[in-house]
Structure formats: C-alpha cells, structure tokens
Amino acid sequence: MGFPEYLAARESLVLYGQPVLTYILLVSLLQFLVSVLYLWKKNDTYYGNLIKLLYISTALYIVGFLFLIKFHVQVYNTVLIEYPVFLRQMIPVETSRFAIPLWIENEKLYFWTMATSVFVLIMQRRKDIVAFLGVILAVFSTIVYFFSNPFIDPLPRAHSEITGWYATLAAGDPAIYQAAGSLFGRITYYYNSTYMWTHPPMLFIAYASLIITAAACVYMLIRQDRIYDEIAYRYAKIGYILLTTGMLIGYPWAIEAWKDSAWWWDPKISGSIMMWVLYSAYLHARIYVNRNKMWNTTAYLGIICFLSLVFTYLLTYIVPGIHSVVQP
C-alpha cells in the first residue's frame, strides 16, 4: 500500500462520487421547482412530491458521504509518512498517517447541506417552512456542485501535501527535513487533532439547525403566528448549545496549534463571537416574546443572526487571517 493506491482511491472517488452529486443537483432543481409551486399554489400534491424529493436528495447526500468516508479510510491506509532519522530525535513519533476529518476544504459545505437536509426531514412538519427550506436547500446544493464540489478534485490541499511529500522523497531532496517537519505539524495539530474532529462538525450541525430558526423567523414576520416562533426557538436551542460548546472547544486547540501565530482578534474568530453574541441577544430578547410585540423584534433578530452566520462562514473566503484561504 502506498502512493499509487492512494491515487487509485482518489480516482475512484471522482468516478463514483461525481455522478451522485450530479443526481443531487438534478433532484435539487426539481425540488426547487416543486417548492416554488407549492408556495405559490398551496397544492398538497406538490408538497407530497417535495417530501419525496427531499428524501431522495438526503439519501443521495448520505450515499455521497459514505463514498467520502471510504476515501478518507483509504487515505489513512495508503499514505504512510516515515520521518527521516534526524527528525525522529525531535518528534515523539517515527511515522504518521492522515486521519482526515470529513468536513474540511471542499467537503465543508457538503457536510453542512447534508446536515440541513436531515434536519428538514426530521423537523416538525410545517408545510410552508419545509417548502421554503426546499428552496434554500436547492440553492445550497447548486453552490456545492459548482463552487464546493468534494468529488471533482478531492481534498486539493491535502492532495498537494501528499504528492509534494512523495515527490520530495523520490528526489532524495535535502529539503526533506523541512517538508517532514511541516507535515508533522500539519498532521498532528490539524488533520489528526481531536479538536478538528469535534469543533467543526458541532458548528456545522449548529448552522444546519439555525437555518431552520431563520426560516421560521421569516414566516413569523409573514404570518404573525406564534407557532413559528416556537419552531424558531426549538431549533435555536439546539443550535445555540452546539454553537457555544463548539466555539469554546476551538480555544484550547488554537492555543496548542497556533502558539507562535497571530490569531487573537482574527476575523473568523471576531465573526464567530459576533454571531454568538447576536444569538445570545436573540435568546435573551425572546424571554419577553409576549410583551410589546417583542416577537417582531426577536424575529428580525433571528434573521440578522442568520445573516451574521452566513457572513462568518464566508469570512474564510473573503478576508485574510489565520482561518482564511485568502492571501492579502
């Protein structure tokens, strides 16, 4: 087992995964159409079809996710980093394997969308909110397909690190010590870190739950019916618990992994704190939801919170910083 097997596994993921995502896109486009038709005509036949399409797209997401799991296991089994003897005196291990989590690089949005699909299927059935979320999910699936496709070029950054390592190894390059050293740091503090396996998924599941809160807040403003506030609150509770704990878990990780880096007041961290205080404000305001049309304020707050969530997610791609993929 080695580099050729790794490359074969990667090709296999492209071969089997890409068609699954294409089907997801097609089903999502239909889902978009049926959702809009239901919102417009309020015909239960459209709603019945929408639910079927939601089941199909969620099942396809799960199938694609299983392919991703298989690929990640294959990466673990095929890629073995054996550190040079000189380096072994300075680090606690002789070899490393990549235990890559399933929510990094172009897999992030896929994971978030899949989690949202599952939430939509298990949520209390309010037809209008489900249809509204059907539209949102279709938009998400389209973005996944065109801008964050995990199957077309699987894990590009990890791939360049793996191929770079094997190229250096084959060339007998003296730079191997430097390459091995930086790879050790990357594997230990990023890919294989326990925090990487807990911090991001908690946040993405929280985001999935908070999408439902936002949708319910929109309907709260349109319909002015208390039931929507209750739905918003129900999912805000789940989201807030995961968001708070997930964010906090990131702190000791940052201290461990970025001890020599500039991360205090990093834009992504500032954005996350902003999002958290806004959700705290929402939950605080909601205590008096029945007074002086407070529900109106909380509904607006819920929508502002969600906009801050999307903004925080996008910060990785638009503002430089330690969390970012953007170079100044």
Among 277, 307, 310, 325, binds other proteins (CB under 8 A): 277
Q: Is 327 in the site for other proteins (CB under 8 A)?
A: yes
CA–CA distance, 184 with 204 (Å, rounded to integer):
27
Q: What is the DSSP string of 23-39?
A: HHHHHHHHHHHHHHHHH
With residue 155 as reference, give the H or E element that holds it: none
134 and 165 Cβ atoms separated by less than 8 Å: no
**Backbone phi, then psi, for 229, in 5-degree steps?**
-65, -40
Q: 216: which 2 tokens?
A: 């319910």
- Residue closer to other proteins by CB (options 45, 124) is 124
Query: Measured from the CB atom, is 49 or 308 closer to other proteins?
Result: 308
Q: Is 189 in the site for other proteins (CB under 8 A)?
A: no
- The contacts of residue 240 (CB under 8 Å, 6+ apart) are 206, 279, 280, 283
- State yes or no: residue 169 binds other proteins (CB under 8 A): no
Task: Please give the single-letter amino acid code of residue 235.
Answer: Y
Cβ-based neighbour number of residue 106 at 10 Å: 18
Contacting residue, 102, 191, 321, 323, with other proteins by CB under 8 A: 321
Out of 241, 307, 310, 314, which residue is the one contacting other proteins (CB under 8 A)? 241
201 binds other proteins (CB under 8 A): no
Per rule CB under 8 A, is residue 157 in the interface with other proteins? no
The stretch near other proteins (CB under 8 A) out of 76-84, 99-107, 173-181, 274-282 is 274-282
| Residues engaged in binding other proteins (CB under 8 A) | 237, 240-241, 244-245, 248-249, 251-252, 255, 262, 264-267, 270-271, 273-274, 277-278, 280-281, 284-285, 287-288, 291-292, 301, 308, 315, 319-321, 327-328
